[in-house]
Each structure stands twice: as structure tokens, then as C-alpha cells.
Amino acid sequence: MRIGELSARAGVNVQTIRFYEREKLLRKPVRTASGYRTFEERDLERVRFIKDSQQLGFSLKEIKELLEIHESAKPFAGSPQTKSKEWEKAFRIARERLQLINQKIEFLKVLKRPLAAVLEEPGAEKAMVCPASLMARPEAAQTGRLTRRDNGTDSRPRKKSA
């Protein structure tokens, strides 16, 4: 299949396919005599894997590592000789991603509290002021307006160092 068909079937832009090639996430495709790239079904599967992994929040660097693990394990699939160290690495990457997702969830809960409190205040909609601006102005307490609830929302979740 040509690049246009691959991109359409994978649900990505043609430029995305070219980018994946440059970043070595996709193999260099065979070219026809007239210079057209030709891709195989396995390329489609790979692009879909990349997109699915991105949806889960994996970085391209992590996706590249996961792809390398999958490639190195293929010859041993279903065999007791499967490279357990490689699979351990894949699970470590996945656990780290899950930990980061959980940190983001907690961070979003912290962000939610003050916004929800502002929106639940009686007459909040009649204030004719954006609720976000009410949260960001501590001086609102002095004017009798809705006040910001300080719940430590100034820090973003960070990946813990090993």
C-alpha cells in the first residue's frame, strides 16, 4: 500500500508517517521504480500501536523502547526462552506511566476543588466575571466577592526520580 492509504487506514496525516520514518519508529519503506513508498500490513499495525500508545500518554522515546522490546521478543514468542529482562523493562515502563497517570489524576482533583467551590457559590453566575478569574484573585475576599481556595494548585505533578 502507498503512504496515502496507510495514513488513511491508520487515521493519521501523511506527514505523521514521514515523521515516524525520520524518527525511526517506522522502517524505511521499499520504493517502487517510480519512487513511491510501499508499506505492508505490519507497518499499519505499527502505526496503530504508536497512536494507541500515545493515547495512553507514552512519549515517543518510550514507544520506541516498547517497539524494540516487541521486535527483540518476536523470535522467542511462545517459548520459555522469551527474554524476560526485556519484558520486565516493558512492564517497568508501563508501571511508570500508570504512576504518572495517577499523579495527574490527583493533581486534577486538587484543581477541581477550588473551581467547583467557586461555581457552587450562590449567585456565582450573576457575578458577570469568569470563574477562573475569581479563583486567581486572592484580593476578592476583601471586596466581598467569591474567594479562591488555596489547595496547593500551583505545582504540577512530576515524575518521581528513581
pLDDT digits (tens, 9 = 90+) for 123-140: 767 767 777 776 654 444
pLDDT computed for residue 28 by the predictor = 92
Q: What is the DSSP pairing of strand 30-31 with strand 37-38?
A: antiparallel
Model pTM greater than 0.85?
no
Same-domain status, 62 and 126: yes
Same-domain status, 119 and 39: no
Return the half-sphere exposure (C-beta side, CA atoms, 13 A cut-off) of residue 108. 6
Query: From CA 83, how far away is CA 18, in angstroms rounded?
Result: 31
The total number of structural domains that make up the chain: 2
Same-domain status, 76 and 137: yes
- pLDDT exceeds cutoff 50 at 145: no
57, 84 Cβ separation under 8 angstroms: no
Same-domain status, 79 and 123: yes
Q: Output the nine-digit C-alpha cell for 90.
A: 516493558
- pLDDT exceeds cutoff 70 at 21: yes
Domain range for 38 is: 1-55
pLDDT in tens, 91-100: 899 999 999 9
Same-domain status, 64 and 43: no
Same-domain status, 72 and 141: yes
